[in-house]
Amino acid sequence: MRMAFLANILRGVFMGSADVVPGVSGGTIAVLLGIYERLIAAISLAAKACGNLLRLDLRSAAARLRAVEWGLVLPLVIGIAVAIFTLARVITRLLDDYPEAMAGVFTGLVASSAWVAWRMIRSPDATAAVTTALVGIAAFLLLGISGGAVTDPSALVIFGAGAIAICAMILPGVSGSFLLLMLGMYDVVITAVDERDVFVLGVFALGAVVGLALFSQVLDWALSRHHDIVLAAMVGLMIGSLRVLWPWPGGVEDTGLGAPTGTWWIPVILGVIAALVVVGITRVFEWRVRAAAG
């Protein structure tokens, strides 16, 4: 039990580390670690319980709260919080100092995670392939849009940014941090994390809770009824998000698409290594599942 708790904290650290990077999704990491559908189901149950509490239906709320997989959720939350508050500055510094190399790593991670997600589709037919292609093209085009930085945002703007960003963070291939960049709110939020700005973080967290409660139920419903189409769309989102991660020019904070320059081989090698690590972890995970079943 203790080892499982610590393992889930580590999974949370990986997800939190991804969530502070523009272009990388914590949902992608959850897919890679094999916990995505369990996490969405747990969040959806907790959100429904909150709705029961608001209606003063205490019996239904208690039943749903007992059904939540707290052994997964609580250590994940701890790990995510630890990562965000300890690694935000480190990751942003690496992105500033080595933008192309870091973009190469993230490209390999997301591209191989798209492969992992595709393998989760139960019937990968032509409909799934067309869905992936259409969503990928749409995401590629939309992610080319960026907004200017917002200065001195109101509490309502911060709340809205939290609601939008958290929805993206639980979708593989959609980076909440990059959406904050598009909204012009990335610097505001990352500075609040570095400086421990309680007001900004509190309003942002409140927006995130509301957005998560609403969106998780929609996503859980979609996965339960249209599993393959939803996963195919997620694969498309991952592939489309590679636009953000293209290392040239400028790494993950520039959606321009340029030709490889300079020491182009460094991002390429790092991307290949990252992809191989993902494939290796996936193979080990599949081997463990088969061993447990056998």
Q: Please report, for the chain, the start and end positions of each structural domain, with discontinuous segments joined by +.
A: 2-293
Q: What angle do CA 285, 289, 294 make, to 5 degrees?
A: 145
- Which pLDDT does position 131 carry in this prediction? 95
- Whether the model pTM is above 0.75: no
Q: Which segments of 124-175 does DSSP mark as H helices, in order?
A: 126-142, 155-169
**Token pair recorded at residue 37:** 């559908």
Report helix, strand or coil for 190: helix
**Token pair recorded at residue 255:** 């959606």
Tens digits of per-residue pLDDT, 138-168? 988 887 775 555 677 889 999 999 988 887 6
Tens digits of per-residue pLDDT, 79-121? 988 988 887 778 777 877 888 888 888 888 888 878 888 888 8
- How far apart CA 11 and CA 186 sit, in angstroms, is 24
Q: Spell out the residues 6+ positions from residue 86 whose beta carbon is closer than 8 angstroms to its own.
A: none
- How far apart CA 232 and CA 131 sit, in angstroms, is 6
Report helix, strand or coil for 247: coil
Q: Which residue has the tokens 């080892």?
A: 3
Tens digits of per-residue pLDDT, 17-73? 877 776 567 777 887 777 888 888 888 888 888 888 878 888 888 999 899 899 999
